[in-house]
Amino acid sequence: MHVSRIPWRRLGATALRVGAVWLASTLTMLVLAGVLPDFGLQSAGGDSATVIGVTAAAGAGAFGLLSALVWPLLVRAFLLVPALVLGLLVFFLNGSLLWLALSLIPYGRGSADPTMAVVVAAAMSAASSATNAFLAVRDDRAYRHRLARIAGRRRRREGQGAPPTTPGTVFLQLDGLGYAVLREALAAPEGGEPLMPAVAALCGRTHRLTRWRTDWSSQTGASQLGILHGSNEDVPAFRWYEKETGEIVVSNRPTSAVELQRRAVERTGDLGLLARDGASRGNLFTGGARQNALVLSVSARRGKETRSRAGYFAYFSDPANATRTVVSFVAEVVREIVQSTRALLRRERPRVGRGGLYPFVRAFATVVERDVVVAAVLGDMLSCRTAVYADLVGYDEVAHHSGPRGRDTRQVLRRLDRSVQLIAKVAERAPRRYRLVLLSDHGQSPGESFEDAYGLTLEDLVRAGSGLRVPRRAGRTVSGSEARTAARAALRRPEDSGQEGPRTPRRDTGPVVLASGNLGLISFPDQSGRLTRERIDELRPALLPTLAEHPGIGFVLVHSAEHGPVALGAGGCEHRLETGEVVGPRDPLAVFGPGAAEAVLRTARFPHAADIMVNSAFDPLTGAVHAFEEQIGSHGGLGGEQSEAFLLSPLELSPPVEPGRELVGAEAVHRVLRRWLAESAEPGLPEGVEGPEGPEGTARVPTPHTPHTPHAPDSLPVVPRA
């Protein structure tokens, strides 16, 4: 008797939810018919209230059925369309479905102008989504049952059996969020709650917080390559010039990302952290995963088997998701325009330009990319993936323009916290148990840009020290954020050379000067091999003194034929890195803290280290640096909080490092994450025995290489937003 009641109870709850959503859509349609001029639900001669109500109910029902049956097919048909175009196209597809639904109403009473149909469809989708989400929160049993049903369907489609008994792991990267800023966001002010309450609830109760120190190149390209592929050797900066090819390598350029990933795999002989049933979401690199969405290193390939946009189908196949995201996108653009205007009127300093396309880039990073990545992670948990690594880039993008602790960035942190809360809630209901690990790839250091502080760019300073003419109006460098190129890749314009300048520098313009936050790289394209200090003094006798003595420069790295790598500072100070000998009254690296000399020496040994590498000055009292790009929150070199990232891990996993020791470098983080995956793996393979996925479950590079094939996941359920 008890068993027979359960299906009827579930059936009744389902019927009530469907009825409530239908009622909400009907009421929304009635309200819009009363206020919008080009949308009506009655004939020209007029109708009674009952007839109008029945017409609205019929229209809402037809629209709901078409959305459930036809919408997924339309989105799948348009999956090859560039991602941002698809995000805008959903509005018109949704409006077309409403227009079709109105045409099915008897006696032709429903009518709508095409533009009005788009507006009405968006409002109805939003209303039904909100109602459905509210009821799902209230009915935990039905919600868990729905998740289990979807997960079971996916496992059957992929030939899987019961959910694995071992836990899966979700690695969620909060891009650019430094250790100190996170600590502040977790601290509750007197009488209030923390800025990030969901993350604060994890810290100390179920998770431990660990600080880790980045390499000299404190940016996503180097950090994520090291974390996902175990090696970031020969990645001296975010962008650098390679003399043998005459190419500028840029970490967030898709073709460069492909090459960097290939080099790392070749160097380690391993496909990466995610090669064993993993998924990569919103990253620069795949980590060896077969499931990829918004991954830059595969976005340049046009083949069906290598595209990274499959995750868009999972998200945009639900019209309510699409509507909510597009509306939020527009709201974020408006929010950025208002905030930047307010900062301009208040004459806030430091400040950088926030016009042009930046409001749209910010909205893409903080809304579209966030929503798609979070939805993909939820789908991965429902599919019982073993390891998921996802990157949320919104904070990093906004902090470049508003500062690491700006009012705007605090709002982004609140929304990121809600994303973490949503993922944690779904993890509790997923068919497989999951461990949630939060981490960052670097921090950000505040400070006025080099150009604003001193009235000239690094390139101007280099040209002046080289005896070359300095232009009156030097062009500004553009931010090198991941979000900007992710947006270009979504528009199928991943190689927009307008951002980075020509790939092959012109040989008549003097040295090639590149910027990576507060790290500058200077190369001489007409001189083969890495120039020594002695040769540079021969060619440009005033250049090194000009750089080292400038108040905005902290130190200059060159290679001496006599002493090897040397860090030069003001007043003739030197730090000879091979021996540790310091010449002069002070050590130019001392202000940058412990480990600075080791980090600089490691980079100095890279084959593609520039002829001259320049790190901006650092003020230990304020924590400020001077970015060589147009940024007031920067990272890429040494100095302050940019080098201090965090790792928030479950207490049930082994500690990242032994007490009293420090976790240093992205490669060390990779080893920690791999160890945690091994702790969660099924026992069975003896140590050192190579199975189908390599020793101890790690995937080795196949020979010959076979490209991975991503699969488009099913459409995601409408999950309640935190």
> Residue 49 corresponds to which tokens in the numbers above?
């209230």
Residue with token string 């954020």: 481
Q: What is the mean pLDDT of each run of 10 residues along the chain (722 residues)?
A: 50 63 67 61 58 65 63 54 52 57 56 56 59 49 52 59 86 97 92 91 92 96 97 96 94 92 95 94 93 84 50 61 75 88 84 85 88 88 92 94 92 94 89 95 96 91 85 44 46 46 52 95 93 94 93 96 95 94 94 95 96 97 95 95 97 93 96 95 46 40 38 39 38
pLDDT at 191: 75
In the 8-state DSSP scheme, what is residue 188? P
Same-domain pairing of 311 and 183: yes
Note whether residue 238 is domain-resident: no
Read off the pLDDT of residues 370-407 as tens digits, 9 standing for 90 and up: 988 998 898 889 888 999 999 999 999 999 999 999 88
Same-domain pairing of 383 and 457: no
Using DSSP, how many helices (H) and how many strands (E) does the chain show?
25, 25
171/680 Cα distance (integer angstroms):
14
Read off the pLDDT of residues 687-699 as tens digits, 9 standing for 90 and up: 333 333 333 344 5
Note whether residue 239 is domain-resident: no
pLDDT at 294: 85
Give φ, ψ of 103 to 5 degrees.
-70, -20
Q: How many domains does the chain have?
A: 3
Note whether residue 495 is domain-resident: no
Of the candidates 631, 659, 693, which is a domain's last residue?
A: 631
Cβ count within 10 A of residue 440: 28
216/199 Cα distance (integer angstroms):
28
Give every CB contact of residue 259 below 8 A, 6+ residues apart in sequence. Answer: 249
> Residue 504 corresponds to which tokens in the numbers above?
């092959």
pLDDT at 331: 86
Same-domain pairing of 544 and 520: yes
Same-domain pairing of 334 and 356: yes
Same-domain pairing of 199 and 331: yes
Note whether residue 325 is domain-resident: yes
37/351 Cα distance (integer angstroms):
44
Note whether residue 502 is domain-resident: no
Same-domain pairing of 426 and 457: no
Give φ, ψ of 639 to 5 degrees.
125, 105
> Residue 361 corresponds to which tokens in the numbers above?
């880039």
Same-domain pairing of 99 and 201: no
Same-domain pairing of 412 and 553: no
Same-domain pairing of 595 and 678: no
Same-domain pairing of 426 and 516: no
446/211 Cα distance (integer angstroms):
19
Same-domain pairing of 429 and 459: no
Residue with token string 């995937």: 699
Domain of 463, CATH number, reads 3.30.1360
Same-domain pairing of 519 and 603: yes
Note whether residue 265 is domain-resident: no
pLDDT at 327: 75
Which domain, by its residues, includes 422? 162-228+277-442+650-682
Domain of 332, CATH number, reads 3.40.720
Note whether residue 490 is domain-resident: no
Cβ count within 10 A of residue 573: 19
Give every CB contact of residue 386 below 8 A, 6+ residues apart in sequence. Answer: 164, 168, 169, 276, 277, 278, 677, 680, 681
